[in-house]
Structure 1
Amino acid sequence: MFGVFSALLFLILTVYCMSVYPGGIVTDHYSEGYDFFKNYFSDLGRTHDFLGRSNFTSMVIFMTLVTLIGLATIFYYVTAPYFFSNTALCRKLSVYGSVMGFITGIGYIGIAFTPADLLLPMHLVFVQIAFNSFFVAVILYSIAIYKNPAYPNFYAYVYLMYALVLGCYILIMLFGPSGRTPEGIGIQASSQKMVVYSQILCMMIQAYGSWMLNNKIDKEGVTVVD
């Protein structure tokens, strides 16, 4: 349950990071503290705030947390195809989905190690890699689960609901109002919170589903492999 532990740690410690963030948003460098609806998560990983004040504590914690999330994502998707080896279609969908999940994990680790105030272009590249690859992974796994008679369809529906949220966020990132304007910053930052917290919930549910299915295999001998 490494993924669940990492997700819970992220939820708890990012709140602490928000509490020690000195202040400033893209459109108002003099604002005090962390504005939940106008600061990005990436602001927690800055080396300094917008006025040059040190953000060391928040940066170190945020970097560690996002790296853990990346590693947990990689671990989950490396092991997930085990549950989808009963048909050729499920096997292919799960393997392709796991490749995209692996790329997602790399994207998260890249986000962690490219502070937005030092390496913004690379940081944004990793953001796009993480969210776009995960969208593909979610779609592929929702189909794989639906086609797998041993896997409850509930988990496919959870993936599809999250795919809708993530798809909307990707469209907002690409075509929504600029996050560098007073009008756009609230939309971009708030939608980012929505998609990140939704993803955490989605993956905690998926991890629980995998754990339950694994227990069922051990106890009842459910066939998920050739």
Structure 2
Amino acid sequence: MTENKKFSLEYLSYRLPYYGVIIFIIFNFIAMILYPGGTYQNPDLEIYKFTQNYFSDLGRTLTMDQTQNFFSSFIFNNSLLMIGILFGLFYYFLPNLFICNSSAHLLSKIASGIAITSGIAFAGVGLTPSDLYLDGHMFFVRWAFRSFFIASVIFIIAIYKAEEWDNKYSIIYIGFTLILLLYILIMDFGPKGKESMQGLIIQVVAQKTIAMAFIISVYMKSKGALEIYKQKTLN
């Protein structure tokens, strides 16, 4: 690969998500340490409880007991903005790796357009702290996961049809999509976190699980995209 290709915007769009998720993990770890504490069921708690605090709690300007949460919220919300931007950039260029089959290329364009709106929604989550703009915050949360679920279903078909992509990536998308569907069902129909401790733990653990699934899938998709991009530029 030439130096110009290596540092092109398209190359970076496939490479940066890998580093982005690492930065996201580090930023969230720091935000958890800096979080003053408090959950919906235990507002007086003085630490971030991994099984009782949502990620969104880190982005609140005030904790449940009205303690200032500037540093944690600043770090967390900016990490979501970063993820949203990288998400959009990745999916903007991704259809370029689905060019050998016309139907796969069309499906990848449709799926990428939907996935970009998911990236916008993740950025929107970071711009709407739940203690200030709860309705807007929940709108972006639901939009982010639902739109990406639709995009993932379409990508399963696109990858299966594409000559460039190994079918193992279709299997990865299937596994991730099933986990995502389960999370959406728990989020919509599971016990409410504000109503009981059991409900809170179920919702929070489900959220942490889908976050880990996102991180693993982003790593795998970034790796696959880079491999195909390198092959394409060598031809």
The TM-score, its normalising length taken from structure 2, stands at: 0.92
1:149 aligns with 2:163: yes
Report the CA distance between 1:92 and its aligned residue: 1.6
Alignment of 1:125-136 (within 5 A): 125-136=139-150
Q: Which amino acid aligns with 2:80?
A: V
Give the Cα–Cα distance (whole angstroms) in 2 for the partners of residues 148 and 88 of structure 1: 9
Alignment of 1:67-146 (within 5 A): 67-146=81-160
Report the CA distance between 1:119 and its aligned residue: 0.5
Give the Cα–Cα distance (whole angstroms) in 2 for the partners of residues 78 and 149 of structure 1: 20
Give the Cα–Cα distance (whole angstroms) in 2 for the partners of residues 35 and 156 of structure 1: 35
Give the Cα–Cα distance (whole angstroms) in 1 for the partners of residues 75 and 192 of structure 2: 28
Cα deviation 1:199-224 (Å, max 9, x = unaligned): 011011101100011111223x2xxx
Cα deviation 1:11-62 (Å, max 9, x = unaligned): 1110111111101101111112100011000000000111111110011111
Gaps of 5+ in 2: 1-14
What is residue 9 of structure 2 aligned with on the other side? none
Q: Which amino acid aligns with 1:189?
A: V
Residue 30 of structure 1: SS of its match in structure 2?
Answer: coil
1:210 aligns with 2:225: yes
The TM-score, its normalising length taken from structure 1, stands at: 0.95
Gaps of 5+ in 1: 222-226
1:37 aligns with 2:51: yes
Report the CA distance between 1:87 and its aligned residue: 2.1
What is residue 18 of structure 2 aligned with on the other side? 4
Report the CA distance between 1:177 and its aligned residue: 0.5
Q: CA RMSD in A?
A: 0.9
Give the Cα–Cα distance (whole angstroms) in 2 for the partners of residues 197 and 114 of structure 1: 23
Give the stretch that moved more between structures: 84-93 or 54-63: 84-93
Give the Cα–Cα distance (whole angstroms) in 1 for the partners of residues 148 and 224 of structure 2: 18
Give the Cα–Cα distance (whole angstroms) in 2 for the partners of residues 130 and 88 of structure 1: 28
Give the Cα–Cα distance (whole angstroms) in 2 for the partners of residues 114 and 138 of structure 1: 25
Q: Which amino acid aligns with 2:55?
A: F
Residue 187 of structure 2: SS of its match in structure 1?
Answer: helix
What is residue 175 of structure 1 aligned with on the other side? 189
1:26 aligns with 2:35: no
Runs of 4+ in 1 over 6 A off after TM superposition: none
% identity of equivalent residues: 34
Q: Which amino acid aligns with 1:127?
A: V
